[in-house]
A = this chain, B = another copy of it.
């Protein structure tokens, strides 16, 4: 719950400018352009910039050039975005696994492949996946969810660019059918992998959506084919969705 009503803090425009400047990556800073883009009057631009310089968040090596301060970069370099995701999401999956005894994954899309950042298994259950492993997106439940969250144009590029080998006899390999599967995934809001990666594996996945509506990853529950009865699917989805919503609200 951010954004108190009666007690505003310092203006957010200044902080937006900070990100704007960082995103420039040292490319020339044109006051008029930035002013128009952000709606911040020129006079204020420089007031903000000076605040950032004083706070040693930025440096100002030359006219029209602003860069992140090396000491600030060092401070942040001790933590990566993946580590933050891990810290936030892992405990929630560990709580979930106690009431939903399936192997849980959290994965993100990286250059058209799914990276499994987190794996949490119930006692005794073994699965071939490993953390930081990359798998094809088109045949995994997490991958389907993440593909479904992409722009149509990007999906098109994905379908045209890759080849889609079959990992089992159930793998969908025809681009047209993959596209249909992605659209179906988008429409129903969750992804299914039914023996498409492994003959004995059934997975369900739901997206993790940030407060801004971006899909930042997906959570999946995997189990051996026999374990997950049809009547459990609704329950599994319900629990997955609850955690995904809870996780997403943080970002």
Residues in A lying within 8 Å of B, measured CB to CB? 2-4, 7-12, 14-16, 18-19, 22-23, 25-26, 43-44, 47-57, 59-61, 67-82, 84-85, 87-88, 212, 216, 250-251
**A197 → B minimal CB distance (Å):** 27
Return chain B residues, CB-CB under 8 Å to A73. 76, 79-81, 84
How many copies, total? 2
Most buried by B among A47, A50, A60: A50
Partner of A70, one of B56, B59, B81: B81
The DSSP consensus for interface residues of chain A is helix
Return chain B residues, CB-CB under 8 Å to A71. 81, 251
Knowing A76-B73, A80-B77, A87-B26 are in contact, say whether A9-B50 is a contact too (CB < 8 A). yes
Q: How far is the CA of A14 from the CA of B10 in the complex (A)?
A: 8
Return chain B residues, CB-CB under 8 Å to A14. 9-10
Partner of A44, one of B9, B72, B78, B82: B9
Knowing A3-B54, A53-B2, A88-B67 are in contact, say whether A250-B23 is a contact too (CB < 8 A). no
